[in-house]
Amino acid sequence: MRRVIVLVLLYLLMQAVLPLGEGTPAALVLMAFGFLILGAYSVGELATTIRLPKIVGYLAAGLAVGPSALDFVSQPVMEQLAPVSQLAIALIAFLAGAELQLKEVLERGTLLLKIMTAELVVSFIGIAVTLIALHEFLPVLQGAPMTEIVGFSILFASVAIIHSPAVTMALLSESGAKGVVARTTLGVVLVADVAVVLTFSGALALVRVMVPPSGSGGLGVLAVLWEIGGAVLVGAVLGAVVALYLRFIRRELFIFAILVAFFGSEIAGLLHVETLLTLLMAGFVAENAGGGGGEQLRHAMERAGDPIFVVFFALAGAQINPQAVLKLWPLVIPLVLVRTAGLWAGTKLGARWANAEPEAAKYMWMGLISQAGVAIGLASVMANVYPERGEELRTLFLATLTINQTLGPIMFRIALLRSGEATPESFRGGPRQTEPH
């Protein structure tokens, strides 16, 4: 009840204060930032009382105050708050990389690759075939030649198979789970992020041959490949610098953590490399070459990032457009169901191929449903190369992402609870169970 009262008071306060900020964009942005922290956090706490992850609460709060509903956080304000999302992605990526121990990568690398390959291939085929079969429900493909239908279905599938490291890391951080399901899911999600960018690059090159784009075609394949290779190189250098700091200085880690994420994100933008992969590589190198200081830096980064993560997921919720889902539902629902079935079948097949632990084979697919992060960037590349058809494909992808981003955290929470790697209390901030029963 206390949280409900807080939300009502916040609503009334925003109604009273918003008129005062009219004509002062900076004031509106600051008010929106503060409101998202308090409001989304309160809704996140409410979500735990009905056995939902806090992330679902953050997303719901963002949806409620976003352009599709109350419009407290308008589209221009969200654009002004974009740096907050970029900083959150940088923090999440660095923490994800720091979770990867070199020893475990060497021991489990083959297992992760086999599971990832199986689930991506099965999901890719299922999504592409479904879109080809139901292409008449997408206006831009109605009456198109089969070559174009197949080409754009392949391109869409290469984006739609992606996962969300941000959601995975946030739930693992919230629950404290570190068992085999948690570790395997995180490993597959991180490796798959790189694999999907490579897959998309190949698909884009193929489709450009099948359906030559008009004009300049926007971002080319070489630029996308530089985003990957350059990110690995830049991230390794950044990680080496952080490792030196951890070995010989190791002071003021709270401030240093923010600086690493901020400057890492800025450097990635200036060099036109993929931010997520850059910071992920930096975190991996810093953790494994930092002389034991990586754990302290992780804790400092988690403390510094808590309010930023709340705003990040609330902004993600504000970007959800329910109208797009309703408009394209004859395509969206089958695509979501086929992708989910592909994840289930693919992980089962991959786990058997890799001789994975029974718990991972049974529950891991539930942690792969969420989507976000680099996928939105790839969808934008698709829209740049093919302005008309690519834009409608991006709208379709964002509609499917809306459902997957909502269901994903709930399903992963169920997986961690059923596997015994988390307890209901751990999701509420109580004692954590990090190993399976």
Question: pLDDT confidence of 140, banded at 50, 70, 90?
Answer: confident
Say if CB 8 and CB 1 are below 8 A apart. no
Asked if pLDDT for residue 256 goes beyond 50, the answer is yes
Asked if pLDDT for residue 21 goes beyond 70, the answer is no
What does pTM read for this prediction?
0.71
How buried is residue 113: exposed, middle or buried, by Cβ count under 10 Å (0-12/13-18/19+)? middle
* 3 state SS of 328: coil
Q: Which two tokens stand for residue 131?
A: 């879109």
Long-range contacts at 352-356 (CB < 8 A, ≥ 24 apart)? 353/114, 353/115, 353/118, 354/110, 354/111, 354/114, 354/115, 355/111, 356/111, 356/115, 356/184
Asked if pLDDT for residue 280 goes beyond 60, the answer is yes
The pLDDT of 275-301, averaged and rounded, is 81
State residue 219's pLDDT score.
Answer: 47
The pLDDT of 232-255, averaged and rounded, is 89
Q: Domains of the chain, with CATH numbers?
A: 2-80 (no CATH), 93-427 (1.20.1530.20)
The string of pLDDT tens digits covering residues 146-162 is 999 999 999 999 999 98
* 3 state SS of 12: helix
Say if CB 61 and CB 39 are below 8 A apart. yes
Q: For all residues of the chain together, what is the average pLDDT? A: 82
Say if CB 108 and CB 357 are below 8 A apart. no
The string of pLDDT tens digits covering residues 420-431 is 998 887 776 654
Q: Which two tokens stand for residue 209?
A: 């041959």
The string of pLDDT tens digits covering residues 44-89 is 888 888 777 787 788 888 888 888 888 778 888 888 888 887 788 7
